[in-house]
Chains A and B, each alone.
Chain A
Amino acid sequence: MKIYADNAATTPMSRAALDAMIPCLEKLYGNPSSLYAIGQEAKEVLERAREEIAAVIGAQPREITFTSGGSEADNQALLSAAALGQRRGKRHIISTAFEHHAVLHTLKKLEQEGFEVTLLPVHENGIVDVDELAAAIRPDTCLVSVMYANNEIGTIQPIREIGALCRSRGVLFHTDAVQAMGHLPIDVNAEQIDMLSASAHKFHGPKGVGFLYARRGVALTNVIEGGAQERGKRAGTENVPGIAAMAAALRESEANRERDAAHTAAIRDRLIAALAEIPHSALNGDAARRLPGNVNFCFEGIEGESLLLLLDDRGISASSGSACTSGSLDPSHVLLAIGRPHDVAHGSLRLSLGADVTEEEADYIARSVAEVVAYLRSFSPVWRDLTAGKTPFLL
């Protein structure tokens, strides 16, 4: 059996996305800035894509800026909000401890430039407490950035409540919706979102393309200087094939969203129940408020990379937050943020399911994980000490 269970890392392109992309590569190769016919046709494709994407999230087309992906959108959102804050003497930013590095590293850079950053805790369930956010907002707070759903543990944040709070306190609200877009219902007006980042390759579009939504009146700062594309806010000849494919992928994801989410969540819960049977294991993140396809567990006494390699041998593609998989000495900052000790965080496994997953596949995954975990424990000195009572079990 071959099962791709790493859809949070990236997704395969859909037929609809490919069908939208290929004509742009073959025939509509014009530059949208050119005045002749094939240039203007490409421009039409670009603007239609903008309208379609805006419609999915309840935005106006002019509020959508195309970027090279989620990382660029995050960078631009934060740098723009910081520049706006700076102008009004507001240099305090609130975010969370478990954001993607595209946000955390940009915040580090802003700190070096004199901004003050408060990272809210995300607690054991991986969800921000809105009361804690309310208490953290100061007169000089210029931005709140909280991700829509976490990329490792899939927990969904109280975006609507955060949006209402920020609006009432007059603070800009950005959300990194890279993992949520196409998988959860998003309405920037109802949820009072001022800025939002998304990336096509997480919803069956191509890699290297994404968008930033910025509410009318929120002035963007250029990250890429040059030509006047994207109303002068993002230079560079537009990635027309990628953008057309992104729009097609998003439209299709949105059309199938409710059906796919219901199916995927049911399989997810079946898999979570099966994996919870493994002794000394624990689900990471809230069991209910999580992305439909996200399963994330820690297994005590084993290390994640060896688990991944042996699952790969069985045809299962997954990921882990262990230090050895990232090449750093620390395990995932997300698992540490929800309070998992280092020892346990090294033994983590993320399975992010696609909408085509079957019950049979989930059962095969559960069986394979149970077997591999038992095998790795059979020669783990950590497991030996735990079972001998020399060190206490943490899970």
Chain B
Amino acid sequence: MALYSEKVMDHFRNPRNVGVIEDANAVGQVGNAKCGDIMKMYLKIEDGIIQDVKFETFGCGSAIASSSMATELIKGKPVSEAMKLTNKAVTEALDGLPAHKLHCSVLAEEAIQAALEDYRSRGGEI
């Protein structure tokens, strides 16, 4: 038995949407280096649609795979839908995570929320 599912390892080994969006209009960072995982999400929102999304993550396999999966789940989706993305949806899309690794994956949901909060504070409509 491996620690992680094949799906998690696929997203960990080949993370989707890695990097930075220089002209992002929504950026959110959560976690801290003290507890071990940090995620940063960059969104490019146009006409209420998430046209592009990229992430940077300092963290474990669970954190990296969750970031990657979360970006896939919101890319091209309306902001209103991204608002509703839950950790549960991310975890299920990854075919599950070990119980002690769930707390790392929560950051993906939180990073997207933080980015959308940033978008709102810049005057964006949600």
How long is the Cα–Cα vector from A380 to B29 in the complex, in angstroms?
12
Q: How far is the CB of A376 from the nearest CB of chain B, in Å?
A: 8
- Contact indicator per residue, chain B 5-34, by CB within 8 Å of chain A (1) or not (0): 000010011010011100000000100011
How long is the Cα–Cα vector from A240 to B34 in the complex, in angstroms?
47
Count contacts on B: residues with CB < 8 A to the other chain: 29
How long is the Cα–Cα vector from A303 to B38 in the complex, in angstroms?
10
Is A384 in the interface zone, CB < 8 Å from B? yes
How long is the Cα–Cα vector from A379 to B36 in the complex, in angstroms?
15
Q: Is the CB of A323 within 8 A of B36?
A: yes
Q: Is the CB of A379 within 8 A of B33?
A: no
Q: Is the CB of A342 within 8 A of B33?
A: yes
Q: How far is the CB of A309 from the nearest CB of chain B, in Å?
A: 5
Main secondary structure of the interface of B (DSSP, over half): mixed
Q: Is the CB of A309 within 8 A of B12?
A: yes
Is A382 in the interface zone, CB < 8 Å from B? yes
Q: Is the CB of B13 within 8 A of A313?
A: yes
Scoring B56, B62, B63 by chain A CB atoms within 10 A of each residue's CB, the highest score goes to B56
Q: Is the CB of B58 within 8 A of A383?
A: yes
Set of chain A residues within 8 Å of B122, measured between Cβ atoms: none
Q: How far is the CB of A382 from the nearest CB of chain B, in Å?
A: 4
Scoring B33, B40, B56 by chain A CB atoms within 10 A of each residue's CB, the highest score goes to B33
- Contact indicator per residue, chain B 59-71, by CB within 8 Å of chain A (1) or not (0): 1111110000000
Q: Is the CB of B58 within 8 A of A331?
A: no
The 26 sampled A-B contact pairs (Cβ below 8 Å) are A303-B36, A303-B37, A303-B58, A305-B60, A309-B9, A310-B13, A322-B60, A323-B35, A323-B36, A324-B63, A324-B101, A325-B60, A327-B101, A329-B35, A331-B36, A342-B34, A342-B35, A346-B33, A379-B18, A379-B56, A379-B57, A380-B56, A381-B29, A381-B57, A383-B58, A384-B20
Q: Of A322, A342, A346, A380, which one neighbours B57 at CB under 8 angstroms?
A: A380
The size bracket of the interface on A is 20 to 34
Give A376's nearest chain B residue, CB to CB: B58
Q: Is the CB of B36 within 8 A of A306?
A: no
Is B39 in the interface zone, CB < 8 Å from A? yes
- Contact indicator per residue, chain A 341-358, by CB within 8 Å of chain B (1) or not (0): 011001000000000000
Q: Is the CB of B29 within 8 A of A306?
A: no
